[in-house]
Structures are given as structure tokens and as C-alpha cells.
Chains A and B, each alone.
Chain A
Amino acid sequence: MQDLNAPANPLENLAYIIAQQIEDHSIVYIGTGIPMVAGILAKKTHAPNITLVYESGGQDPIEGDMPWSVGCPFTWRKSPTIMEMSYSFAQCYNGYVDIGFLGFAQVDMYGNVNTHMIGSDYHQPKVRMTGSGGNNDLSSLTEKMVLVGLQTPDKFPEKVDFITSVGYLSGGDSRKEAGLIGNGPAAVISPWGVYDFHPASKRMRIKSLTPGVTFDLVQQLTGFELLKPEGDIPETKLITPEALEVVRTQVDPRGVFTSMPPA
């Protein structure tokens, strides 16, 4: 059980900010980690009528504990149906899924995602990561994508080292011209800011910044020039005491995904 009086940590804030992207009565495709926390938090707070869909095939589970994996029984607990994997992704193509959430190791100025490898040589990478999993499938097909990860100049480069999943490819209409479905990434969320994309150029733009974070700071943490919104940059709304209590007592009581990782 977690200390209920401790101040919110960045992961808890992240879960809350992601959850705010979810509208009630929508169908939400959930990747592993913090997006699972956010989806369940949204369901337990402002969006009780959402339907959660998971890549292992589980969907619309009845409420339970925090899934240990996207294949965990908590993702298909008494589901009316469990989809085979090909059918699960097909629901995004066919327009049954409103919004999807995914992690990234790198995201570039056009919202392209890398979860494959870091380095310039595919055969001798600095590090090989997980590969696509369902990341590419959701990004290729889902109406609206939200990308979630940490922010440093290496993690926000001008070009990703490997395009695992296409955001807006090289900007403008290039995503559509490549033949992809859906509108592409609607938001990128890091502990320091929330970003969207310029409607025409499709370049990443600041939407709001975490209280205390300045434009100069996030620009230093970014490997390309960030666009600014018109007027003053709004502050991101952080987790409320009520939502923090829900995270710590109901959503992730043991801090599986919301406690800071062990050394």
C-alpha cells in the first residue's frame, strides 16, 4: 500500500495527463505500462463508460486489479469476447477504435516513433530495443494516437534512428500519401509538456507545459525547433488530490507502474 500523503511523482502526473485525453463513451486501445494506468484511471473518474481494448485480444473486461502484462487475465476478465490478434487490430482499421495510447523510446518532429534501436548502424546499434509489437499497427490504423514517453534531446531527435511507427512521416500530407489510415498522432505527452502538431506542416508544437517548466528548458530538452502556440503557453493541469487518491488506492495500489523504477 502506498503512502497517501506523499506528493505526486512524475509518473502519477503523467497518468493523469494521459487520462485527460480520454472522452467518456469512447473505445480506447491500451498499450502496456502507464497507458494501462491512465485508461483505468479515466474509467474510475471522468469517463466511466469507456471500453478498453488490449492487444492480446482482451476487451471490455470487468474491473479488477492492475494487469501485470497486456496478456494478463485482468485485460480479459469475463470479457464478452476475446479477439484473435489479427481481428483485434482490424477493429482499428474498421473504425471501431477512437483513440490509442503508445509508448516510445524516440519521437521526432513529425511524430514518428522508434522502439527498435538506438544508433546509426542497424547491424551494430548502441542498443537494440523491443521492436514494434503492436506499436506500428495502432499507429498505422487508429483514428487518434497519443504518444507517451520521457523527454531528452536524444529521445526527441530531429529524425528517429528507425521509423517503427509512422506519425506524419515527413510532414504535410505525407502520412496520407503513404496510404495510412486515421489522423495520426494527436498529442505527445512527456513529464515536461504536452505537444500537438501544426495542422498544415505537421511539425510538433507546444500545447502546454508542466508548471515550473519554461519554453527555454523544453527547447533545450528537444533535438529540433519546437513550434509555439499563439499567445501565452498554457500550464498543464496536474493531478488533483482526488485523482491521486484513486491512483494510489484503486488503480495501482502497489505502484506497479506508477512508482519510480528501482535502481
Chain B
Amino acid sequence: MAKYLYNQEAIENLKLNDTSVLDRLVDFESAREAHLKKERAKKDKRMTIAEAVATFVQDGDVMTDGGFSYVRTAHQAFHEIIRQGKKNLQMIGAPNTNQSFFITYGLVKYSHSSYTGAEMRGIDKVYDRALKAGKIQILSEWSHGGVAQGLKAAQLGLAGVFSKQMLGSDLIRYNPYLRIVQHPLKKDKDSCVFVPALYPDVAIIHCHAADKYGNAYIYGPAVNDLATAAAARKLIITAEEIVPENDIRYNKQGQIIPFFYVDAVVEMPFGAVPGSMPGCYYWPRQWWEKCMRFGGSSEENNKAFCDEWIMGVKNQYEFIEKLGGARWIAEARRQTRAAEGDNEDIDFSYEEYTLKHDSGIYY
């Protein structure tokens, strides 16, 4: 039996039989309980990604993407989760391109969806096929802004927010968490959407630097991650580098996740590969084109692509070797520095991957 009064129309439209799977995402009491039990001492939380995933990612967890689709997202940690194998995960895809890697290997059973795809590279045909084959079930449809508000509400310490987004749309008819309510102070009819605060079980956030206690620094778009970090029951930080605590205190201004939110700290250079990492490396654009176009073209091709790039490598270093090794590192760093205006402008042209043309070059 579910603990909450979900939007019944959405339950019916989504054909959800067991609504108890919905509870954890909005279960404030258990999230607060988890936060109260977190380590208070400044303890060295460093471990390997294999240990962090084995300890903190459990079957059935509600997990989030971090970063923005394929910018500063913890891809290499995701690959480790896939290699370890987990079951019945719920994935919040906002903003997202990454559910399909899990779906391919049967890790994700339930999907909270606000976006799948890779912009102009096309729709996510793997997600499309999985949905029709019943390999995954959508539990809720969202806009990016709706998820962002739910996570922000958690960070702000609110039960939820009164939103003006999603009103009148079919998102509400396919989202059990959303209720339309009247603005309580308005005399005239004024509809709002109550978006409840959202509490993922586990989040993995890739950062630029972290100290061994978990204070972590983000450069560039934080997107939802400061809110997600505050909300999640369990939080793994992967970081490009581990720095002394004083470096965070004196030199890293701006977007900081405090140490007491954090359960595990993993030193993971190139942890966002094949995504881009602000200040550090640009996308291997051809990789994403191949992923969407070749992987999208059939289930066999998708499996072959994922087998090659996820199961076929042990860690990010082997992944980078396949991208071109030191040459890829140098070019990707040059590209991102130039894109940010920190290097002389360079020529951004490249040989696009198409089904008819695969240069095999990723920079």
C-alpha cells in the first residue's frame, strides 16, 4: 500500500499496479532520518569507485543523473555500476541522456522521465524500444523545471512548491506526484501545481575537486547538483582531483557541496568521460553521434557498442586509450579551454560520425 495520496488519474494512465514503488522519492521522513545518521566527524571518506558503488548503491534505489545530460555527469561511475550489476533501479532522468546505458543491461526497471535523447543527434531509440518491449516502466513524466523545483524544494527545506509550470499539459495526467491546487490567498480562481520535494536514494556527483572529507567544488553550470546533494539519502562524490581542505577553504569560491552531505569520496580523473567537463575536457563528439546513430539503429548494434565501451574496459584509463590516449586528452583540453575563452580560438571542425562514415577518430 502506498503511503501517499497520489494523483489517481496519472496512476490509471500509467497503468501502475503497485504504487508503493513511488513512495521513496517523496518520503521526507526517511530522508531526514538518513541525513541524521550520516557521519558527523571529519573522517577520511576516500575509497575506490568499486567500493563506493558496492557500499552505497543498492538494488531498488532511486538514482539521479547529475550534471547536464552529458556535461559533468558521473559517466565513469555509472559504467562501474553497470559492470557490478544492480537490479530494479529507478532512474530520474533530468536532465538526462543516460538511462539507456542502464536499461541495456537490465539495471533500471523504472523511469522518472523529463528528457531522453541527445538534442540534434536525435531521439533515443534504445529508450523507445525498451519502453515498447516493456523492459522499463515510466513512473512519472516531468519537465526539466518541475524536477529542478522538486529538488530545490528539498534543499530549501520545503514540503514542496506551488509551481506555474506543467499546468494544463498531459505531464500532469502522467505524473502521480503532481496535484493541482488553488492559490490559497487568491480570491479568484488561480491554479498552481503542487510539486513535492524530491529525495533520491543515491546521487553520484562528479566535481572538479574534493577534499578527503567530502567538501566538493563545482566549476561551471551546477544545474541541479547543489540541490540534489542536499536531498539525496546517500551521496557519492567523484572528483577530478583530491585537494587539501585548505585549498577548498581559501581558493575554491562559489559552488561547494559541504562535507557532511557526503558518504564517499572517489578520486576519479576523467570521471565525466565521454561527457564534457568544464575547464578540463570537451566531448568526443563522434562518440555521441555513434552512440545515437549506430547504437540507435538496432538492439544488436546498441549492445555491441555498449559491450565495447562499457563492459570491454575496466576503467576510465582504458576508455581514454580507446578514444586516442594522450592525443585525445590534449585535444579535448584544448577544445574546452578555447570554447570557454581561455585559449586562442581553434578550429572546431571535425569529421562527424554517420552510418556511412566512421573515421575512428574521437577528437
Contact = CB atoms under 8 A, between A and B. Distances in A.
Chain B CB count within 10 A is highest, among A57, A85, A137, for A85
Contacts of B340: 73, 77-78
Contacts of A74: 339
A66 B285 CA distance: 14
A134 interface: yes
Given A64-B341, A137-B143, A180-B168, A263 B223 contact: no
A56 B143 contact: no
A136 B143 contact: yes
A56 B221 CA distance: 7
A71 B356 contact: no
A73 to B, nearest CB: 4
Interface string B211-244: 0000000001111101100000000000000000
A175 interface: yes
A132 B123 CA distance: 12
B167 A179 contact: yes
Nearest to A124: B132
Contacts of B224: 84-86
B290 to A, nearest CB: 13
A interface majority secondary structure? loop
Given A64-B339, A69-B70, A84-B223, A132 B190 contact: no
B117 A129 contact: yes
B345 interface: yes
A140 B165 contact: yes
B141 interface: yes
A69 B71 contact: yes
A133 B164 contact: no
Nearest to B161: A86
Interface residues of A, number: 62
B123 A128 contact: yes
Contacts of B160: none
Nearest to A57: B221
A69 B292 CA distance: 14
Given A74-B339, A130-B117, A165 B169 contact: yes
A133 B95 contact: yes
A256 B351 CA distance: 11
B352 A262 contact: yes
A165 B146 CA distance: 13
Contact of A56 (B141, B223, B285): B223
Interface string A80-95: 0010111001000100
Contacts of A141: 164-165
B227 A84 contact: yes
Contacts, number: 190
Interface in B235-258: none
Interface string B129-150: 0011000000001111110110
Contacts of B123: 127-130
A64 B339 CA distance: 7
Given A73-B339, A130-B115, A133-B95, A178 B170 contact: no
A134 B151 CA distance: 16
Contacts of B149: 86
A169 B166 CA distance: 12
Contact of B354 (A133, A165, A180, A262): A262
A256 B69 CA distance: 19
B320 interface: no
Contacts of A174: 168
Given A56-B71, A133-B114, A136-B165, A68 B283 contact: yes
B64 interface: no
A180 B114 CA distance: 20
Contacts of A262: 352, 354, 356
Contacts of B127: 128
B120 to A, nearest CB: 5
Contact of A62 (B15, B142, B226, B341): B341
Given A129-B123, A130-B124, A166-B167, A65 B339 contact: yes
Nearest to B118: A69
A175 B168 contact: yes
Contacts of A164: 169-171
Contacts of A163: 168-170
Contacts of B336: 73
* Minimum-distance CB pairs A-B, first 4: A179-B191, A137-B145, A178-B168, A73-B339
6 contacts: A71-B276, A93-B164, A122-B174, A132-B114, A133-B144, A262-B354
Interface of A: 32-33, 55-58, 62, 64-66, 68-74, 76-78, 82, 84-86, 89, 93, 116, 122-125, 127-137, 140-141, 162-166, 169, 174-175, 177-181, 254, 256-257, 262-263
